[in-house]
Amino acid sequence: MQISIRNFLETLEDNRADAEFFKPEYIQSRRILTTKPCEDLENIAHISDGNHLSIAENFLDKPGVRYLRGQDLSTDMILSDRNIVYIDETIFHQLKRSHIVKDDILITIVGANTGLVGLVYSPPDQLVASCKLGIVRPKKDILSGYLYAFLTSQYGQNQILRSVRGGGQTGLILPDMKKLSIVRLDNVFEKLIHKIVYQGHELLLTSDNTYCKAEQILLSELGLLNWKPKHWLSFTKNFSDTRASERIDAEYFQPMYEEIVKAIKSSKNHTRLGDIVSIKKCIEPGSGAYQDNGIPFLRVSNLSKFGINNDNQQFISEALFDSLKAHQPKKGEILLSKDATPGIAYYLKDAPGKTIPSSGILRVTVKDSDQIYPEYLTLVLNSSIVQKQIERDAGGSIINHWLVDQVKNTLIPILPVSAQKKISEKVNQSFCNREQSRRLLDIAKHGIEMAIEKSEKEAQGWIDAELKK
């Protein structure tokens, strides 16, 4: 339990009486910032939020102008690549105040993930934000990389989270955003932080490009490199097909799914997933077991193909972990989501820290890693080859469910070991670049914190030593 005793006059001064606003760490951050040269965010950046017009919620069923929602921002990357939605270009032109351009900084301002910060490093030509995102556009007298790093530091995050308001739906309002205090450091130091941040984001692009090349090798081997899924409005199937599949919904029989299956079966070798892996189910202790700290409880929302993130992280007690530790993931396993957003696969190349996965996640182990490279299988699971099978098979009126029997029956192409090795090497290279990127962004963030708490000189020395590593 945390206790913070404040004078009643302080609640009047801040016009806030909620206990969360007076958390000790928030008070301490504010006390430190009052001793530093600061500027209000509104003085160094243009601030707005995304679109509020319902007209933009009419999403297209084909690519158009990408429409960013709060869920599209993550701690992992600038933009998520799952469940992308698009709007028509004519609507895009009506939403000028919500357009996003290079060097903009995005902040989630509504919901459980309020406070996530992303730097728009390499946007498409047209990009627009929903009202769930705040748009911060730095002016000429501050560098976007430095501002991004400060907002992700504890001194930026504590201010953002302290400013959150609301009961049923919490969020950050623009007037509060405008008053965020931004510490100004020596110009040379700010330029250094900016450079490190952009080096980190350049490595992210390199990582994505390398991963994309690995996917291209797989699709090329199957003759699907230039394949574009087509949604048919009408087609004919035999009654015997519905009996064999025990499905009568038209979507299940879309010809594009047959094209995927045909391509897999045309390869020299293919098999059911259940024949090459062992699968362990995980557990759901219930939301009543969640607490503010302790052992991380891994939910589907914390899983991506590039790693484990702490988006809206929940925790369980040490005692509960001890009773559930049989579900602790191990080095060499693949974590695979089966509920909500089924088909997210992440290979545990190293042993993870203490954590318990939810029942929406499966622990998958390759039976013979000399014949099936785990990195290769993970990429296949994340590829369109498996994602289209999941799209066909998964069901559920509210929450998507990919049943374990369906998981086991998923068709997997088995490429020659030489091709698997080539793909696995590119996947490992991609993850290495991504890890270096994360490290650079951490160096930038912690360098700012050290400069604020100690001195810029000491921070400079620490940064130099870390970069040499």
CB 283 within 8 A of CB 324: yes
Nearest in space to 155 (alpha carbons), one of 128, 184, 129: 184
C-alpha 449, offset from chain centre: 24
Q: Quick one: pLDDT at residue 6?
A: 58
Domain ranges of the chain: 8-184, 209-424
pLDDT tens, position by position, 374-401: 999 999 999 999 999 999 999 876 788 9
What is the DSSP-derived secondary structure letter of residue 301? G
pLDDT tens, position by position, 270-317: 999 999 999 999 999 988 999 989 999 999 989 999 999 887 789 999
What is the pLDDT of the chain when averaged over all its residues?
90
Q: Give the model's confidence band at 12: pLDDT under 50 very low, under 70 low, under 90 confident, else very high.
A: very low
How many CB atoms lie under 10 A from the CB of residue 168?
Answer: 4
The CATH classification number of 8-184 equals: 3.90.220.20
Q: Where are the alpha helices (DSSP H) in 248-383?
A: 255-266, 273-276, 318-324, 374-382
CATH architecture of 209-424: Alpha-Beta Complex (3.90)
pLDDT tens, position by position, 66-98: 999 888 887 655 567 767 889 999 999 999 999
302 vs 279: CA distance, rounded Å: 20
Q: Quick one: pLDDT at residue 397?
A: 66
Q: Where are the alpha helices (DSSP H) in 373-416?
A: 374-382, 384-393, 404-408
Identity of the amino acid at 171: G
- Assess whether pLDDT exceeds 90 at residue 246: no
- What are the φ/ψ torsions at residue 331 (nearest 5 degrees)? -55, 135
pLDDT tens, position by position, 347-362: 999 999 999 999 999 9
306 vs 309: CA distance, rounded Å: 9
Tokens of 106: 């995005």
Going from the C-alpha of 177 to that of each of 155, 237, 289, 435, 458, the distances in angstroms are: 14, 57, 33, 31, 30
